Amino acid sequence: MHVAMYIFGILTFVSACGVVFSRKSLHSALSLVATLFLVAVHFALLEADFLATLQVLIYAGAIMVLVVFVIMLLGLDEQVENPVLKLPALFAALLCGIFAGVFVYVFSKASILFVVAEPSSPTVLGDAHSVARLLFTEYIFPFEVVGVLLLAAVIGAALLAREDKRPLLPGRGLKAKRKEFAPVPDDEPRAESRGE
Amino acid sequence: MEVVTFYLVLGAMLFSLGTLGVLIRKNAIVMFMCIELMLNGVNLTFVALARHMGGLEAQVFVFFVFAVAAAEAAVGLAIILAVFRNYRSIEVDNASRLAG
């Protein structure tokens, strides 16, 4: 347990550094896939089987497919970003170092704060059955709200990503659209839809 | 080192690395991926404390974080697409027309 924990922990840290410091965005994406898989391994080591499965399915599967799809769609896989070594970047690095240092200090000291928390029942396992039991009884309302949130996200994404993104004001509805898509004479210039 | 301490430190490291990435990178997609990194650091902290405390509520919270991250991915990538369509680039410095 401990050996695996340390090995996978170091690997996670290294691949997370790869996400931040890679010069190509596709390399960042691949490092992120590795990081997400390694975090799933940590979930499995922490007896959260259900979450480990979800991590692989949702994060490493669905979300990363979206990210890589967008990178390929925009043709950013050949773009090389030069490393930023200016003063603001160094200042940010210093700030994040202090941030991490404070966290590590607090966590190394704070373990006495929750020493009482021995697992009361050793059979608490994060398998799908027990998590779902909690999710569909006590947390049923947040679960429904999350469903609504996902619906709103789908509608919002479709609205944002469509080609013509003028707002659907009165006069911009379906009837106006139909009129707009009717064949126009060539000498009449069409309204420019984009900003530039 | 105790198991929970190790995972708290690892989660803090992931979170700080994600913060650093958001601060120093200019590419909007890489910034987005760094936000995912921060979310993962928090998730790891949640799960480590869930195991330490012997409860499952934190795992339910991680489930909700997953759902919110999925929603964020859909909307965020759509925004990146819209920005790219208008500015022909996803460097966040270029999309500063609203800044005075």
Regions in chain B scoring below 70 on pLDDT: 1, 98-100
What's the pLDDT score for residue B42? Answer: 94
**Whole-structure pTM value:** 0.81
Look up the ipTM and state it. 0.91
- Chain B CB contacts of A85 below 8 Å: none
**Which of A63, A69, A148, A166 is most worth mutating to test chain B (most B CB atoms within 10 A of its CB)?**
A63
Cα→Cα distances A38→A4, A7, A11, A52, A155, Å? 11, 10, 8, 10, 32
User: What would you report as the CA-atom Rg of chain A, rounded to the nearest whole angstrom?
Assistant: 25
Please name the member of B12, B64, B70 whose beta carbon is closest to the beta carbon of A58.
B70
What's the pLDDT score for residue A187? Answer: 58
What's the pLDDT score for residue A13? Answer: 94
Q: Got the DSSP string for B42-74? A: HHHHHHHHHHHHT-SHHHHHHHHHHHHHHHHHH
Closest CA–CA distance from residue B99 to any residue of chain A (Å): 17
What's the pLDDT score for residue A76? Answer: 75
Residue A133 burial (C-beta neighbours within 10 Å; 0-12, 13-18, 19+): exposed
What's the pLDDT score for residue B36? Answer: 94
The answer to whether B31 and B54 have CB atoms below 8 angstroms apart is: no
Please name the member of B5, B62, B67 whose beta carbon is closest to the beta carbon of A51.
B62
Local mean pLDDT, 10-residue blocks, chain A (196 residues): 88 94 90 95 90 91 91 80 73 88 83 56 71 90 94 92 62 58 58 50
What's the pLDDT score for residue A196? Answer: 46
The answer to whether B63 and B46 have CB atoms below 8 angstroms apart is: no
